[in-house]
Amino acid sequence: MTDDRKATLVHISGRVQGVSFRIWTKAQAQGLGLTGWVRNEYDGTVTALISGPDAAIGEMLRQFWNGPIGASVSSVMTEPASPDEAPSDFRITH
């Protein structure tokens, strides 16, 4: 990966499971040219690793607050991550 790629681990809470949040995230991330993954957690939250240019990550973080139709996001928490942890595409994982 190039030096201009960053990565962020994102924890999204609220009504984010059962509303196609992972499918929506994958489509949004691919549209922004991001790589990484998204998964449901046992506690009802969604976690995503997003990697790419700062501007694309910032836009994805803004979009997380809206989510797909039916979602109600109450929190988007981030922590730094290594771009080396991201796959070369964007995946839904379990």
Active site residues: 22, 40
Count the alpha carbons within 13 Å of 19 in the hemisphere toward its beta carbon.
18
Strands in the chain per DSSP E: 6-15, 35-40, 46-52, 72-81, 90-92
Measured CA to CA, the distance from residue 92 to residue 2 in angstroms comes to: 24
The answer to whether the Cα torsion of 3, 81, 11, 87 is positive or negative is positive
